[in-house]
A and B are shown apart, each in its own frame.
Chain A
Amino acid sequence: MSLINDGVLFLVLRRMRTPLIVMILIYAVSIFGLVLIPGVDATGTASAPMSFFDAFYFISYTATTIGFGEIPNAFSYAQRFWGTVCIYLTVIGWSYSILSILNLLKEEGLQRALARSRFNRKVKNLSEPFCTICGLSETGSLISKTLDQVQMRFVVIDTRSEPLAELELGDYMADVPALNADAQLTRRTDSATLLFARTDGLGKLHGLF
């Protein structure tokens, strides 16, 4: 759970609502059809339909494309017709669910939530005092180079993504946790040792506080 914070979990759950409901409905309709359609016994006379358990078992291995075959008895033609419908329905349902998950992974909101939780984890794991640099313009990067030289740990918050990308390529001794966010809106609670250096777009140092 430490890897995924609440924000990411809730976002995924919220987006998975429709695919999950579609899957539940497809399973329900398929199973309900199977418990209504009469079967056939070895002599060819009609017999009782499947029980709920048999139907759930059949749909479970069919939907997951495991395909054990016609269990417990060979199917009647009516059951096979319905079975065909079930196969296509469940395949469509699974494809829809998987596509939704893939779409969700690409989404910007989720990526940002994941980046934030990664950043928070890294900061939490910093065992020594560290500085926070808000805004990595000219001054900010000078400060960060100096801090790195005196072996002081620091984290970086910037509204723009380009300086953070350069930070990854930069030649730093220590690993630098970086977050693409507005420092004024960022909540940092464990800030006992924080040194704030705020720079504007021109790289002018606004103040240390």
Chain B
Amino acid sequence: MNLEKVVFGFFILLAATLNFGFFIGDIARPELHYIYELFAAIVVNLIATTLKFGDHTQIGAIHLATSLVADLQLIAAAVTWGIAVHVMQVGMTPEITASVVSLSGGALFANVVSVILLIAETLMMRR
């Protein structure tokens, strides 16, 4: 067992699960989408991205690309939230909530691709 591999798999899965946890629920109801979970998803996604740095292989490059996409989508979701609450001061209206949650849904897709890559990589390994 390789501790580095455990940490790598842990952060990739945690990024996907936190992202899913924030995404799940009626898209337009702000009380079903906990903002702390979005924060945790962003932090864990950033850590997962950093862990993927510096891999020369093709699969490593795709891994990094999926993580960068997820980061971009989640940060866009957070910026949307910040602008709605602080700049426009409209609060979490159904439209804003739907926009934040759908952005995180896009990130979820990228995270699922990342998990699939992880599984494929594991299955390809021969003992």
Chain A residues near B (Cβ < 8 Å)? 6, 10-11, 13-17, 20-21, 24-25, 28, 31-32, 35, 51-53
* Listed A/B pairs (17) with beta-carbon separation below 8 Å: A10-B54, A10-B55, A11-B54, A13-B53, A15-B54, A17-B53, A21-B51, A24-B43, A24-B46, A25-B43, A32-B39, A35-B36, A51-B85, A52-B39, A52-B78, A52-B81, A53-B85
* 62-111 of chain B: CB within 8 A of chain A: 78, 81-82, 85-86
Q: Which of A10, A15, A16, A52 contacts B35 (CB 8 A)?
A: A52
* B18 on interface, CB distance cutoff 8 Å: no
**Chain A nearest CB, measured from B46 CB (Å):** 5
Task: Evaluate contact between A53 and B50: CB separation under 8 angstroms.
Answer: no
- Residues of chain B within 8 A of A10, CB atoms compared: 54-56
Given contacts A24-B50, A53-B82, 6 further A-B contacts (CB under 8 A): A16-B53, A31-B39, A51-B85, A52-B35, A52-B78, A53-B86
Q: How many residues of B contact A (CB 8 A)?
A: 17
- Residues of chain A within 8 A of B55, CB atoms compared: 10
**Chain B nearest CB, measured from A55 CB (Å):** 10
**Chain B nearest CB, measured from A116 CB (Å):** 15
- Residues of chain B within 8 A of A53, CB atoms compared: 82, 85-86
- Residues of chain B within 8 A of A15, CB atoms compared: 54
- Residues of chain B within 8 A of A13, CB atoms compared: 53-54
Task: Evaluate contact between B53 and A24: CB separation under 8 angstroms.
Answer: no
Q: How far is the CA of A104 from the CA of B41 in the complex (A)?
A: 31
| Interface class of chain A by DSSP | helix
Question: What does the 1/0 interface line of B29-56 toward A look like (CB < 8 Å)?
Answer: 0000001100100010011001101111
Interface centre among B46, B53, B78 (most CB of A within 10 A): B53
| Interface class of chain B by DSSP | helix
Task: Evaluate contact between A52 and B50: CB separation under 8 angstroms.
Answer: no
- Residues of chain B within 8 A of A6, CB atoms compared: 56
- Residues of chain B within 8 A of A32, CB atoms compared: 39
Task: Evaluate contact between A17 and B54: CB separation under 8 angstroms.
Answer: yes
Given contacts A16-B53, A32-B39, is CB(A51)–CB(B46) below 8 Å?
no
Given contacts A14-B54, A17-B54, is CB(A24)–CB(B85) below 8 Å?
no
B79 (CB) vs chain A CBs: closest residue: A53
Q: How far is the CA of A25 from the CA of B48 in the complex (A)?
A: 12
Task: Evaluate contact between A17 and B51: CB separation under 8 angstroms.
Answer: yes
Task: Evaluate contact between B86 and A51: CB separation under 8 angstroms.
Answer: yes
- Residues of chain A within 8 A of B53, CB atoms compared: 13-14, 16-17, 20
